[in-house]
Structure 1
Amino acid sequence: MKSYSMQATADTAVIELKEVPVPEPGPTQLLVKLHAASLNRGEFILGHGLTKPGSNKPIGMEGAGVVEKVGSAVTTFKPGDRVMLRGPGTFSEYTAADVREAIMMPPNLSFIDASAIPLTFLVVHDMLVQQGKLKAGEWLLVTGVSSGVGVASLQAAKAMGAKVIGTSGSRAKLDRLDEVGLDIGLHTRKGDFSTAVLEATGGKGVNLVVNTVGGSVFEECIRSMAFEGRLATVGYVDNQLSAKIDIQALHAKRLTLFGVSNKMRTPEQRAAGVPAFVRDFMPHIAAGRIKPLVDSVYPFDKLEEAKAHMEANQHLGKIVLKI
């Protein structure tokens, strides 16, 4: 089968399409013939630590396809089932997936749309529900709302009954997100939005912040937060890895700051969140209340072009490889 791998050094990453054997599923795995897989920016940013210097490993982190074979201990899936999954090596024709990370696809979903859900929306569930404790009627601020995780955060929050403010450097992207339910779009790439956020929330601030941008907007996120507000850090595309913390605001407003990453979690810890995601989000997805926003679809042999499109920051939502 054909499969993409990435060779990483301290400052470069080389992607190669190889011919490798079809994997044999272990006792608790599924062999899935992949039909689509979506791109995630963090996988290609060396500083994020997902690919260590000197390593050469299969790439791709989420996808969708059809079960071809199940491991000896698997009882929840069978050959022919349509599934979406989170796991390594999805930029391939086949993958051996952990059964705990596989989710049955609703009939209404295409493989293209389904491939844009597992990793991205599991991250969003972690931020908004498990750690963020977002409630209906509360305010959410998303910096970099036009990114894949940003759009998914917007969609999930609206399905939960929250109100959403988003920042973006593109006015055109914000206008398009009005159709997805964005309540207030702030056209900026800088840390200069707290005044507008406080004005929109009657001076109270937002209850939850999803920061997809990084350190360059961290201080402004703190200034935008309400009493007992929560701040999720999920990315740092600005490559600014440090920022000042207003200790007085942290103390007086009883703020909660948390990170969202799977890098140091065990497979058991990662898988533990899947049942809650299925319970909380899959009914919205099955009913069409949450529909992944796919920016573009590239043929399997055009991964480099898809990556270049992502790095040009012109996309809105997810970029998908059709396999």
Structure 2
Amino acid sequence: MKAAVYYENGPPNVFKYEDVEDPACLPEGIVIEVGAVSIEGGDTLNRARGELATVPHIVGYQAAGTIIEVGEKVTDLKPGQRVTTVNFAGSHAEKRSVFARTAWAIPDSMDIRTAAAIPVPFGTAHDCLFEFGRLQKGETVLVQAGAGAVGLAAIQLAKRAGATVIATASSDDRLEKLREFGMDHGINYRTQDLVAEVKRLTDNQGVNLVVDPVGGSTLQKSVLSLGYRGRISMVGQAGREEMKLDVSTMMAGNQSLSGVFLGAEIFTDRVHNNIQKMIGEIAKGELKVVLDKNFALKDAAAAHEFIENRKAFGRVTLTP
């Protein structure tokens, strides 16, 4: 099969488009013919500095496609079925092998690019808001990097739950686009003082919850944006800055900071069933996956560069 591989960490141009061996099917797993790859923020970080579990390495968390092989211990999936999948690597290829537990059936009517972009962003956003963020109706949530896939999912889910939603983005144009997904108030973090704006919008009370996929200096601003008993769900380091954080202000406000990693519980019934439920809601139009540009698999380097230049609104995809 063809795959976008690399032999060493580095910028997007480390990618090579090469022939590699087809992946083996695990007894508890499936192999799919990939129809679309959703490029995650973690994919770009892993390419830049993550561990190379294999050499050459195929990066990538998410891909959707059609099952072409089923392991002997798998009873609930079959060849020919369309699924969306998650694994810790291997999405940037024409075929991928995953555990059946990290595959979700998708409706025949669902666009394959849409399906590829569901599990990680929506599963992560839901955990940030509810499992670890304990969001309640009537509370106020700040979603950092609202134009990213996790941000867009979090805005929709928080608004549906009855929260007031404040979101940040790098331009007024991006903020305007977020309004249709449920954002009540937008903050341009390039031109506005984020913490001052949060205080102004909340009558100096601060927010109940922050979803922060950025980290670095943004995380410090998230801390300073909290109200009494406020919570932060920290879910990434998209800003790629060194993590330096002063948490001394959190004690007086009985505030809390939780790290969130969907992968730690990806095999649980809770996560599996929750993602399957949201796939159904997306199919019904109750939630929306936002897709940006699509690239051919052979152009993986250009796709990663497009993301790292912060040009994307929603998910960027690859198709073999």
SS of residue paired to 2:73 = coil
Cα shift readout 1:160-201 (whole Å, capped 9, x = no counterpart): 332211111211111111122211111123782122212222
Aligned-partner residue type, residue 232 of structure 1: S
Aligned match of 2:267: 271
SS of residue paired to 2:6 = strand
CA contact (8 A) 1:29 1:70 kept: yes
How is 1:14-93 mapped onto 2 (pairs within 5 angstroms)? 14-45=14-45, 50-52=50-52, 56-87=56-87, 88-93=89-94
Q: Does 1:168 align with 2:169?
A: yes
TM-score (norm 2): 0.90
Number of positions where the alignment pairs a residue of Structure 1 with one of Structure 2: 318
The offset of 1:318, in angstroms, is 0.5
Cα shift readout 1:266-322 (whole Å, capped 9, x = no counterpart): xxx431253342365344323212111001111222211111111111111100112
Aligned match of 1:308: 305
CA–CA distance in structure 2, aligned partners of residues 251 and 110 of structure 1:
47
SS of residue paired to 1:151 = helix
Aligned match of 2:229: 228
Aligned match of 2:246: 245
Compared CA separation, residues 55 and 225, structure 1 to 2 (3 A): farther
CA–CA distance in structure 1, aligned partners of residues 187 and 174 of structure 2:
11
Compared CA separation, residues 77 and 138, structure 1 to 2 (3 A): same
The offset of 1:213, in angstroms, is 2.3
The offset of 1:156, in angstroms, is 2.4
The offset of 1:230, in angstroms, is 1.1
Aligned match of 1:99: 100
SS of residue paired to 1:220 = helix
CA–CA distance in structure 2, aligned partners of residues 99 and 135 of structure 1:
33
SS of residue paired to 2:142 = strand
Q: Does 1:284 align with 2:285?
A: no
CA–CA distance in structure 2, aligned partners of residues 197 and 321 of structure 1:
37
Aligned-partner residue type, residue 293 of structure 2: S
Compared CA separation, residues 140 and 106, structure 1 to 2 (3 A): farther
Q: Does 1:110 align with 2:98?
A: no
Compared CA separation, residues 51 and 262, structure 1 to 2 (3 A): farther
Aligned-partner residue type, residue 4 of structure 1: A
CA contact (8 A) 1:186 1:193 kept: yes
How is 1:117-128 mapped onto 2 (pairs within 5 angstroms)? 117-128=118-129
CA–CA distance in structure 2, aligned partners of residues 47 and 74 of structure 1:
31
The offset of 1:49, in angstroms, is 5.3
Aligned-partner residue type, residue 129 of structure 2: L
Aligned-partner residue type, residue 20 of structure 1: V
CA–CA distance in structure 2, aligned partners of residues 183 and 64 of structure 1:
33
CA–CA distance in structure 1, aligned partners of residues 33 and 315 of structure 2:
21
Aligned-partner residue type, residue 121 of structure 1: F
Moved more, 41-50 or 114-123: 41-50
TM-score (norm 1): 0.89
SS of residue paired to 1:315 = coil
- Residue identity over aligned pairs, in percent, reads 29
The offset of 1:113, in angstroms, is 0.6
CA–CA distance in structure 2, aligned partners of residues 287 and 218 of structure 1:
35
Aligned-partner residue type, residue 267 of structure 2: A
CA–CA distance in structure 1, aligned partners of residues 200 and 187 of structure 2:
12
Aligned-partner residue type, residue 271 of structure 1: F
SS of residue paired to 1:227 = strand
Compared CA separation, residues 133 and 48, structure 1 to 2 (3 A): farther
CA contact (8 A) 1:166 1:182 kept: yes
How is 1:179-190 mapped onto 2 (pairs within 5 angstroms)? 179-189=180-190
- Structure 1 residues without counterparts, runs of 5 or longer: none
